[in-house]
């Protein structure tokens, strides 16, 4: 009886239980078409749709596509996100091995969209340590923009990871960037105490 009543309420209120939006699914499919015009059209529809579930497929396309028009359109969209849940999608991309080659871009998307991924400080710091010069630069830029509150344990762990990286990388071309990250987080840690 309860189940029948619940189904009736769902039906009356046009609610769905784990139902996918067919338009979103079509956009996801069209993003990976071989026809350039279809891909560009799918990106246009993705912009209009403004749904967070399109971020991961767009990142996948961005990471594996050499078409500069497509990459520029995706970069523009992901740099100006105003979609709820977008921050969580981009934060997840920081730890997704499929996106290891575009971490600098993901950090840039977070910063350009005005997000405050305080909960991902550890991932941002490790991206700086493990990534190339541009990734470290983007990580520093994003770290500088973070506003608290900060988790003390994560802040301490991040400072220690940066200190260790600085000790290990005496001749690294990004040493100055890592030192700036260290100084910034060390100052935040001192301010929190």
What pLDDT digit, counting tens, does each position of 113-159 carry?
999 999 999 999 999 999 999 999 999 999 999 998 899 999 999 99
Q: Nearest 5°: phi and psi at 183?
A: -60, -45
Q: What is the pTM of this model?
A: 0.86
Residue 102 has pLDDT above 50, yes or no: yes
Please report which confidence band the pLDDT of residue 75 belongs to, taking 50, 70 and 90 as the band edges.
very high
The three-state secondary structure class of 66 is coil
Helices (H), 50-115: 55-64, 68-78, 86-95, 103-112
Specify the pLDDT at position 171. 78
Give yes or no for a contact between 96 and 62, defined as CB atoms under 8 angstroms apart: no
pLDDT score recorded for residue 170: 79
pLDDT classification of 189: cutoffs 50, 70, 90: confident
What is the pLDDT at residue 11?
Answer: 43
pLDDT band at 8 (very low <50, low <70, confident <90, very high): very low
Q: Is the pLDDT of residue 161 over 60?
A: yes
CB-count burial class (<10 Å; 0-12, 13-18, 19+) for 187: exposed
Check residue 41 and give its pLDDT: 97
pLDDT at 56 over 80: yes
- pLDDT on residue 169: 83
């Amino acid at each position: 009886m309860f189940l029948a009543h619940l189904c009736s309420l769902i039906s009356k209120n046009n609610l769905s239980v784990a139902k996918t939006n067919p338009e979103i699914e079509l956009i996801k499919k069209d993003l990976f078409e071989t026809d350039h015009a279809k891909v560009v059209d799918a990106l246009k529809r993705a912009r209009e749709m403004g749904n967070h579930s399109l971020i991961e497929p767009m990142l996948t396309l961005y990471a594996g596509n050499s078409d500069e028009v497509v990459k520029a359109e995706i970069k523009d969209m992901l740099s100006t996100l105003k979609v709820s849940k977008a921050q969580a999608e981009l934060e997840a991309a920081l730890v997704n091995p499929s996106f290891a080659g575009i971490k600098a871009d993901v950090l840039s998307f977070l910063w350009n969209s005005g997000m405050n991924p305080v909960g991902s400080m550890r991932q941002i710091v490790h991206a700086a340590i493990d990534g190339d010069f541009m990734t470290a630069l983007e990580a520093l830029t994003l770290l500088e923009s973070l506003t608290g509150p900060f988790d003390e344990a994560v802040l301490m762990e991040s400072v220690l990871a940066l200190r260790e990286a600085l000790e290990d990388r005496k001749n690294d071309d990004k040493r100055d960037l890592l030192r700036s990250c260290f100084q910034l987080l060390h100052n935040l840690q001192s301010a929190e105490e």
